[in-house]
Structure 1
Amino acid sequence: MNQMTRRKPAPTPVADAMPDDDACWDAFLARDRAMDGRFVGCVATTGIYCKPSCAARHPKRENMAFLPDPAAAQAAGYRACLRCHPDAVGRDRLAVAAAIAFIEAAEETPRLEAIAAHAGYAPHHFHRLFKRETGLTPAAYARGVRVGRLKATLAQPGSVTAAIYDAGYSAPSRAYADARQHLGMTPSAWKDGGRGATIRWRVVDSSLGPMLVAATDKGLCRISFGEGEAELRARFPHAALLPSDDALDAMAQRVSALVDDPGTHVDLPIDVRGTAFQQAVWAALRAIPPGETRSYGEIAAAVGRPGAVRAAGTACGVNNLAVLIPCHRVVRGDGTLGGYAWGVEKKRALLAQEKGK
């Protein structure tokens, strides 16, 4: 049995294209931290360059020029702002991107010391930096990478044990522990269409139509519009599907109420499956206030991966919890709606209701 699957080294991260001048100016006016590291603003009257979130007083628009990075600003004769330290932002973001590539390319989960050394930082400092940029610790991100590999290998022919080792686990016990936390069921149950798992479900009415609400014993695993038992069974053909009970009835009513009153604070248990990146995106979605939207690029930047715009869109697309994880609040960079798993009209209606509140 091949316990280690050789993987190609990850490519060096490539920076996002620089926004146009109007978008750069808007970012400076908003002191948008999500745009830090994507460009710098150069002030002709002072000869300094700053990051977008700099707290200093804004100069006049005609005195501002925008360049892609500190190196370009220095070549043009500008010096770094001593208040916002723009050089550190680019270095930090590149270091985190390099660490992510290192983690994803590693055959086994690397230790913090190795990750930090690869990025060129001291371990304790880099631990804080990585969490600040991604919302996850390096260890949590690495666990998510392994779970993602486990899901992929479990979908292929072969034994569960082989899939566990091919995903980079050194022992089945660690894989089963991660699976209970991230998959909601054991690896063998996941591979076999949910065999051995128990899911309770019901369809509840909402102002935008019927909603399927389903949960494992850990929490909500599926909220969707226009689905029923057939669709749920297609996802988990071998799971035990049971009727709703009092606990699920109560959760379903609270979920339905979110459609009309999205500002209500809801603290419901969830059992969703995803990689570390997907989980970070879903957390960023839940942080968007009702009535507001974000672009896919803004979400990617918010989780420390400004170059992963397409991956952020994919994470939105595989969201299993409609409304509760509000992927309908993410739009394209030009302001158009983009896609939605349950139809663009549902997305438009949800946004209209939220903006009317």
Structure 2
Amino acid sequence: MSQTIEPRGPAPDEEALWQALLRREEWPGRFYGVTSQGVVCRLGCPARPPLRRNVRFFGAVAEAVLAGFRPCLRCDPDGSRAAVHAAAVRAACAEIESAEEMPSLAALAAGAGYARHHFLRLFRAVAGVTPHEYAAALRARRLGAALASGERVADAVAGAGFGSESRVYEDGGKVLGMTPGAARRGGAGEVIRTAFGESALGPVLVGMTARGVCSIEFGTDEASLRAALAGRFPAARIEAADAPVREAVARVLAWVEEPRGALDLPLDLRGTAFQKRVWEALRAIPPGGTVDYAALASRLGMPRGARAVARACAGNGVALAVPCHRVVGRDGSLRGYRWGMERKRALLAREGAAGGAD
């Protein structure tokens, strides 16, 4: 697995840089020029390593350019291609937002000056979702804002660009996380049933709607956990547990004691289209396995999306069932965890004992 090395102190010697080049390690602030091709690359470039005699090392892309090298088109060491791509995607997003009907992928690609399939990959790499998913999320935001302002459901649905009111009611859980009527009332009327338990990792509270578990939270005590849940769902009616919620808590507690297999619960996930993509990818990581943020981003078609993936992990409100604790740093070190680093360390230790390392 590759790793990122932060430069410290004086510049490293060329042998260390050469070995990093061969291992394709990312090394911020270090670049190499290939004299036989006239290009400058960042350390970590996926291109085939050149011969040692054809390599010169630099501390900045500008330094290499002054020496007669041009930026590599593959690894984009100065970020110029990434900036062009980001601008093209921003323009496409603006076109989607201003259009009365969703523009076709072919039209968006033509406007950006790319082939259709290339533009689809580019849009997903930059935005984290496809143009269709972006448009769907935009419609949902517009619908939610209109309903929250008190518009009639029929007017809000039409204004947001949905083809029919029945479609929104039929798929209300996916569009808004609740029915349009409940959204118009600020979420009032939605019921979340809760149950509390004491696990080996401390107090845990499970919240469940009619669609599935919407919250699994660890904390210090029951009162603070209930207050946090009310903060996440301020307009919902929070009630005591019924049988399905008590069963869900029992399964959570049993899983903490012996984490074998997935914590298989019906889920009601609340998030953006991109967050849900990340959360579904997390659910595919088995107990005992880990993945780093950059590798997970690459699996999602976003080779430079490690930070976006980390933000999606931080937004997960369903511990264990969406196992964001299995995401680590490139060097295997533990990074942030919503429910505390000690719990993350304990979870990984328990899973390692049960299922072995990845």
**TM bucket, shorter chain:** 0.5 to 0.7
User: In the alignment, what sits opposite 2:143?
Assistant: 150
**Cα deviation digits, residues 94-137 of structure 1 (max 9, x gap):** 43663255325613433212321233222234334544666643
Change (3 A) 1:159 1:305: farther
Number of residue pairs the alignment of both structures matches: 326
Q: Distance in 2 between matches of 1:167 and 1:216?
A: 26
- 1:28-43 matched pairs, under 5 angstroms: 31=24, 41-43=31-33
Matched, 1:189 2:178: no
* Pairing partner for 1:56 from 36, 43, 48: 48
User: In the alignment, what sits opposite 1:118?
Assistant: 111
Say which SS state the counterpart of residue 223 (structure 1) adopts.
Answer: strand
* Pairing partner for 1:99 from 67, 70, 89: 89
User: In the alignment, what sits opposite 1:264?
Assistant: 261
User: In the alignment, what sits opposite 1:201?
Assistant: 194
User: In the alignment, what sits opposite 1:276?
Assistant: 273
Q: Distance in 2 between matches of 1:229 and 1:254?
A: 20
State the Cα distance separating 1:207 from its structure 2 match. Answer: 1.0
Matched, 1:351 2:345: yes
Identity of aligned residues (%): 37
Q: Distance in 2 between matches of 1:27 and 1:166?
A: 55
Change (3 A) 1:54 1:308: closer
Change (3 A) 1:353 1:314: closer
Q: Taking CA–CA contacts closer than 8 Å with sequence separation of 6 or more, which of the two structures ends up with the larger relative contact order?
A: 1
TM-score (norm: length of structure 1): 0.65
Q: Distance in 1 between matches of 2:209 and 2:301?
A: 28
- 1:233-244 matched pairs, under 5 angstroms: 235=233, 237-239=235-237, 241=239, 243-244=241-242
Q: Distance in 2 between matches of 1:203 and 1:31?
A: 48
Letter in 1 for 2:319: A
User: In the alignment, what sits opposite 1:322?
Assistant: 319
Quick check: 2:125–2:305 contact (8 Å CA) kept in 1?
A: no
Say which SS state the counterpart of residue 98 (structure 2) adopts.
Answer: coil
- 1:218-237 matched pairs, under 5 angstroms: 218-226=211-219, 232=229, 235=233, 237=235
- 1:14-33 matched pairs, under 5 angstroms: 31=24
Letter in 2 for 1:56: R
Q: Distance in 2 between matches of 1:59 and 1:177?
A: 61
Say which SS state the counterpart of residue 351 (structure 1) adopts.
Answer: helix
User: In the alignment, what sits opposite 2:69?
Assistant: 78
User: In the alignment, what sits opposite 2:204?
Assistant: 211
Letter in 2 for 1:107: S
Say which SS state the counterpart of residue 132 (structure 2) adopts.
Answer: helix
* Pairing partner for 2:133 from 135, 140, 143: 140
Q: Distance in 2 between matches of 1:254 and 1:55?
A: 48
Q: CA RMSD in A?
A: 5.0
* Pairing partner for 2:243 from 236, 242, 245: 245
**Cα deviation digits, residues 181-236 of structure 1 (max 9, x gap):** 14332122134254454544322332122222223333321111245666656626
Letter in 2 for 1:205: E
Change (3 A) 1:230 1:186: same
State the Cα distance separating 1:58 from its structure 2 match. Answer: 7.5
User: In the alignment, what sits opposite 2:356?
Assistant: none
**Cα deviation digits, residues 44-98 of structure 1 (max 9, x gap):** 56444446351624777x8443655xx98666433677xx944699747843663
Higher alpha-carbon Rg = 2
Change (3 A) 1:206 1:40: same
- Listed as ranges, the gaps of 5+ residues in structure 2 are 353-358
Q: Distance in 2 between matches of 1:30 and 1:254?
A: 44
**Cα deviation digits, residues 262-317 of structure 1 (max 9, x gap):** 5733444322122223324434555677675756x8877866395894x6665444
Q: Distance in 1 between matches of 2:228 and 2:240?
A: 14
Letter in 2 for 1:95: H
Say which SS state the counterpart of residue 202 (structure 2) adopts.
Answer: coil
Say which SS state the counterpart of residue 210 (structure 1) adopts.
Answer: strand
